[in-house]
Amino acid sequence: MLRLAPRSAPSRALTLAAPFVALALTIAVGAVLFLALGHPPGRALALFFLEPLRGGDGWSELAVKATPLALVALGLAVCFRANVWNIGAEGQFIAGAMAASWVAMRATESSHAYLMLPAISLAGLLGGGAWAALVAVLRDRWNASEILVSLMLVYVAEMLLGYLAYGPWKDPEGYNFPQTITFLPVTQVPLLAEGHRAHVGLFVALGLAAVAYLFLFRTYAGFQLAVGGQAPRAARYAGFSARRSLWTALLGSGVLAGWAGALEVTGPLGQLTPHLPVGYGFTGIIVAFVGRLHPFGILLASLLMSVLYIGGELAQSRLGLPQALSGVFQGLLLFTLLACDALASYRILRVPAQRAGAAAVPS
Amino acid sequence: MPRPDAADDRVAGSSPVPRLTLTNVSKRFPGVQANDRVSLSVRPGELHAVLGENGAGKSTLMKIIYGAVRPDEGTLAWNGAPVAIHDPRQARALGIAMVFQHFALFETLTVAENVWLGLGRGRARQDVAREVERVSAGYGLQLDPGQLVSGLSVGERQRVEILRALLTRPQLLILDEPTAVLTPQMVERLFVTLRRLAAEGCSVLYISHKLDEVRALCTSCTVLRAGRAVATVDPRRETNRSLSELMLGAAPPAPPVRAARLGDEILSLRGLSLAAGDAGGIALRGVDLALRAGEIVGVAGVSGNGQAELLAALSGEDRRAPAGTIHLGGRDVSGASPRARRALGLHFVPEERLGRGAVPALPLAANTLLTRRELVGAGGWLRTRRMRTLAADLIARFGVSARGPDTPAGSLSGGNLQKFIVGREIDAGPRLLVVAQPTWGLDVGAAAQIRREIVALCDAGAAALIVSEDMEELFELCSELVVIARGRLSPRIAVRDATPALIGQWMSGLFHEATPEPPPSPPLVSSRAEARA
């Protein structure tokens, strides 16, 4: 019989090694999976994990996916460190995209890019922040569970997006497709290189990772947030405001998710459609944890998760495997990571089934 | 499986075979030798004390006997036969019962239901209820089997625990510091029960560091010091001084002599009343208290009588106090945050060190930030170098055994963490220091050091309020005492005028009664105080 016993302190080595062990296990399980599906596991895995890294196009597409993932996950890391469980980043992402689209649709031929682009970003920030603020108000004022509320607001945001795309914002010359006009080039987020979809949002994500690092580990506000998350009674003892932590965390993550939405809709997409949400808000949760809630870890994790996204697409187009494989791999990764985490804080004890004393049962 | 029948040899002291014999038992934990070749023998019907300071290895030894910890070396013999006890279940099957310091009772269940649940399978609830009634009457435990535990006092809850142990018909009953939460009157009633039990042949192992209790109750006493059994004596023939010397290895250092030079009023509580914050909490009722600079005042009382609530109201963690009830240096701070109060010079050391006084996962350097605002620079940036310097200074000055400023607070032992936290607050140079259980769990040297630091702080013009359950400590440290009982505060009394009987009476809430009766209880004033006399 095996039993889990808590370690006196979590093993530091295991905590750091966990993501790598989890990745190795994911690949191993993936190999078995491919085998069962009738594909040689070596080739399939290479297609899944290595093919996305080939060539400028590959890296550009990775950046397109990693940018929103990193932005969302950075915000969520701040949130989760404060013990605030915002799982509705997807909704905040959509809200940011809608707000940014509203501004982008107002652009004219005479608009200036240096006014337009900041305005679009600002709208995205405000949109995502407002959507998260709803959660904060409900939690703060009526003590509603932020988990449920933030999740349900995702569906509200999706409905709202559908309403706008099918209704008032529909392009009158769009052959009745549910989509807005194609935004004018002046609203386009500058690309990193001509002919590739990767855009300067990548630098936004890199810069914000540094900002998040400084905020979390070098400022009093970040310290208060962490104490409130780890030891609420110590925060009360120190006199840190739990309400302030709640608002900081939710607004911070909402704003970042909203910004990601704005960059997505005015970057690769160029118009708002009901197909905008592809799960970056939810995958961001996995990214945040795989990245150990650390800004630099999150950058790596977002890259890894993008590989899984693109690998899934390749598996579909070249091997005829279902796209759902991406989700399977993401789930596997999170699952094995949680298992590794458990083993970092607990160790396995072997308990002999028959003990000398077990015979003498007290009556 | 038939259980060993205790009745066979329930003739006090007549059996030549010891009930329990420990031979050269050793147990080592990382960094500490908890037990070092300890030998110990308990006869049937013997009231055997295990005496020792905090950290002397008493609890480890008892856990070994109860099967919760396995010894590295040494042997145990039970009624003459060698035995290896692997877990508490086996210990109970042998006839060993243990009453822990902290109770494990279900508040929402009745006395009988709690006892029934503790007995394990195979007994009908009705039978247990009847037995509870019979046994509690037989041992003078006075309990109503149908009453809900939530309505019981601490002493009554302990009786439920004892009852639960007795219903397993033990041959050996282990009690771990059973009087820590009892008033002197309750202690005397507990002793009556234990003596009756011993007379019937049940052996009792009584873990304590209180000399008077051991002398009043026990017929044999093993003294532990730093993990070793240094002597086995008959406590009835010893004095507090001789026992104390055995326990400490040398006469304890004399307490600091203080000439009180009192300054301005620093703290003033005026009719502070607060409804209970949560279920099971205690309401504060009309608390009046004033502290002047240079003063050290102790708050005595059985735990759970409003200490936690009073401390939270003082620290600002509970900010419901009505305006005008709490004044600090002449300013009304009733609704002020802990940070605002700290800025006015009020620093507080809470009883819970991990999770309240310190964040376990954060390094010591970061833990300085909890209460030291000066480590935050302009724009909210942390002064990381100063944080590390301060942590290193505290480690050096207060003898905290930690590798350095980067050590996580949670990896320190309770005593070391306490030194760090108390140090952090004293080093801040407060005008008023409020400390809950300042030396709980500390070894003698560390406790003495913390007390010296508190005294030095107050000699320099600060005031201190000490909330403690340890009467010895209060008598040693404080000049005046108040007693808290059911959310009310007794009048103040100078330590030299406080008699054990009076304090005991006050602890049960009777401070507006007339003259106290002379006590049948053991004297409260500490063994150490007497040893010095």
Q: B131-147 pLDDT, tens per residue?
A: 888 888 877 777 888 88
d(CA A102, CA A89): 20
User: Is pLDDT larger for residue A333 or for residue A346?
Assistant: A333
∠ at Cα B46 (B42, B50), nearest 5°? 60
| Selection from B202, B122, B193 nearest residue B163 by Cα | B193
Which B residues in the span 167-196 are in contact with A, Cβ-Cβ below 8 Å? Answer: 168
Would strands B73-78 and B47-51 be described as parallel, antiparallel, or unpaired? unpaired
Query: What local confidence, expressed as pLDDT, does residue A363 receive?
Result: 36
Q: B211 and B248 in contact (C-beta within 8 Å)?
A: no
Q: Do B3 and A9 touch (CB under 8 A)?
A: no
pLDDT digits (tens, 9 = 90+) for B295-319: 999 999 877 788 889 999 999 999 9
A6 vs B contacts (CB less than 8 Å): none
The label of the residue with tokens 């003063």 reads B295
Any A CB within 8 A of B378 CB: no
Name which of A221, A226, A362 is nearest B93 (Cβ-Cβ).
Answer: A362
**What is the average pLDDT across A190-218?**
92
Query: A-chain residues within 8 Å CB-CB of B339?
Result: 238-239
Q: Does B518 touch chain A (CB under 8 A)?
A: no
pLDDT at position B279 is: 61
Q: Hey, what are A73's tokens?
A: 């996950």
Per-residue pLDDT at A62: 93
Tell me B170's DSSP state: -
Any idea where the domains of chain A sit in the sequence? 49-320
Please indicate if any CB of chain A lies within 8 Å of the CB of B406.
no
Superfamily of A49-320 according to CATH: ABC transporter involved in vitamin B12 uptake, BtuC (1.10.3470.10)
Chain B CB contacts of A239 under 8 Å are 316, 337-342
pLDDT for res A55: 80
Q: What is the pLDDT of residues A41-94, one digit of tens each?
A: 888 888 888 888 888 888 999 999 999 999 999 999 999 999 999 999 999 999
**Is A238 within 8 Å of B370 when comparing Cβ atoms?**
yes
Q: Is B1's pLDDT higher than 70? A: no
pLDDT of res. A262: 96
Q: Do B342 and A357 touch (CB under 8 A)?
A: no
Q: Contact B97/B174 with Cβ under 8 angstroms?
A: yes
HEC secondary structure over B472-529: HHHHHHCCEEEEEECCEECCCEEHHHCCHHHHHHHHCCCCCCCCCCCCCCCCCCCHHH
Measured between CB atoms, does B362 come within 8 Å of chain A? yes
Closest Cβ–Cβ partner in A219, A359, A361 for B380: A219
Q: How far is Cα A155 from Cα A149, in angstroms, rounded to an integer? A: 10
Substitution target in B5, B65, B354, B356 with the highest count of A β-carbons within 10 Å is B356
Most confidently modeled range among B23-37, B106-120, B265-279: B265-279
Element (H, E) at B164: helix B154-166
Within 10 Å of residue A56's Cβ, how many Cβ atoms?
Answer: 11
Contacts 24+ apart (CB under 8 A), B127-134: B128/B167, B131/B167, B132/B163, B132/B167
Report whether A47 contacts A318 (CB < 8 A): yes
φ and ψ at residue A17, rounded to 5 degrees? -80, -20
Rg of chain A over CA atoms, in angstroms? 23
- pLDDT class of B293 with cuts at 50, 70, 90: very high
Question: Is residue B341 within 8 Å of B315, Cβ to Cβ?
Answer: yes
Smallest Cα–Cα separation from B286: which of B431, B489, B520, B6?
B489
Confidence band, pLDDT 50/70/90 cuts, at residue B511: confident
Is residue A344 pLDDT above 90, yes or no?
Answer: no
Q: Is the pLDDT of residue A162 over 90?
A: yes
CB within 8 Å: B340 and A239: yes
Q: Which two tokens stand for residue A84?
A: 């605030």
The reported pLDDT for the residue numbered A1 is 67
A363 closest CB neighbour out of B3, B84, B316: B3
Q: What span, in angstroms and rounded, lies between the C-alpha atoms of B319 and B336?
A: 7
Give the pLDDT score at A2: 73
Average pLDDT over every residue of B106-132: 81
Q: Where are the alpha helices (DSSP H) in B25-124?
A: 58-65, 88-94, 111-118
Interchain pair B352, A233: CB under 8 A: yes
pLDDT at A76: 97
Q: Which residues of A touch B (CB under 8 A)?
A: 8-9, 218-221, 223, 226-227, 230-231, 233-234, 236-239, 355-363
Per mean pLDDT, which range of A104-113, B111-120, B148-157 is the poorest? B148-157
Cα distance between residue A188 and residue A184, in whole Å? 7
**Nearest residue to B335 via CA among B357, B318, B350, B355:** B318
| Contact between A239 and B411 using a beta-carbon 8 Å cutoff | no
Alpha-carbon span B483 to B468, nearest angstrom:
10
Give percent of chain A with pLDDT exceeding 90.
53
- Output B420 or B281, whichever has higher pLDDT: B420
pLDDT, greater one: B121 or A79:
A79
The answer to whether residues B301 and B184 touch, using CB atoms and an 8 Å cutoff, is: no
For residue B527, pLDDT beyond 60: no
Task: Looking at B71-146, list the stretches that DSSP marks H as alpha helix, in order from N- to C-terminal side.
Answer: 88-94, 111-118, 125-138
The alpha carbon of residue A202 and the mean position of all alpha carbons in its chain are separated, in whole angstroms, by 15
Do A231 and B338 count as a contact with CB atoms less than 8 A apart?
A: no
Select the residue of A223, A233, A355 nearest B366 (Cβ to Cβ): A223
> How many Cβ atoms from other residues are within 10 Å of residue A2's Cβ?
7
Contact map slice: B 109-148 vs A, CB within 8 A:
119-120, 122-123
Q: Which two tokens stand for residue A244?
A: 């302030």
Interface check B73 vs A, CB under 8 A? no
Per-residue pLDDT at B475 exceeds 70: yes
Say yes or no for a CB contact (<8 Å) between A357 and B362.
Answer: no
Global pTM value: 0.72
What are the Cα distances from residue A165, in Å, to A172, A275, B137?
11, 10, 80
> What ipTM was reported for this prediction?
0.79
Residue whose entry in the numeric block shows the structure tokens 């735990």: B303
pLDDT of residue B13 exceeding 60, the answer is no
On the question of pLDDT at B282 being above 90, the answer is: no
Q: Read off the pLDDT of each residue in B161-179 and give the average, rounded to a whole number.
A: 87
Q: Is B370 on the interface with A (CB under 8 A)?
A: yes
Report chain A residues whose CB lies below 8 A from the CB of B337. 239
| Listed range (A102-116, A220-234, B107-121, B518-532) with the worst mean pLDDT | B518-532
- The 3-state DSSP class for residue B112 equals helix
A362, pLDDT greater than 50: no
Residue in A closest to B341 by C-alpha: A239
pLDDT band at B31 (very low <50, low <70, confident <90, very high): low
| Least Cα separation, residue A217 to chain B (angstroms) | 9
DSSP state of A50: I
Q: Is B359 on the interface with A (CB under 8 A)?
A: yes
pLDDT in tens, B177-226: 887 667 777 788 889 889 998 998 999 999 887 778 888 999 999 998 88
> Closest-CA residue in chain A for B122?
A363
Over residues B454-462, the mean pLDDT reads 91
Please, what is the average pLDDT of chain A? 88
CA distance A292 to chain B (A): 15
Closest Cα to residue A226, out of B363, B404, B413?
B363
Highest mean pLDDT among A170-179, A292-301, A321-330, B489-498: A292-301
**Is B523 in the A-facing interface, judged by CB distances under 8 Å?**
no
CA distances to A32, B216, B299, B447 from B519, in Å: 79, 14, 21, 30
**Mean of the per-residue pLDDT values of chain B:** 83
Is residue B1 within 8 angstroms of chain A, CB to CB? yes
Q: Using an 8 Å Cβ cutoff, are B510 and B484 in contact? A: no
Report how far residue A107's alpha carbon sits from residue A330's, in angstroms, rounded to the nearest whole number: 39
Task: State mean pLDDT over B384-390.
Answer: 94
Query: How far B344 CA sits from the closest chain A CA (Å)?
Result: 14
- List alpha helices for A186-324, DSSP H: 201-218, 220-230, 232-238, 242-264, 280-290, 295-319
Residue B94 contacts A where some CB pair is shorter than 8 Å: yes
Contact B457, B430 (CB under 8 A): yes
pLDDT digits (tens, 9 = 90+) for A19-37: 888 889 999 998 998 888 8
Alpha helices in B378-482 (DSSP H): 384-397, 414-427, 444-459, 471-477
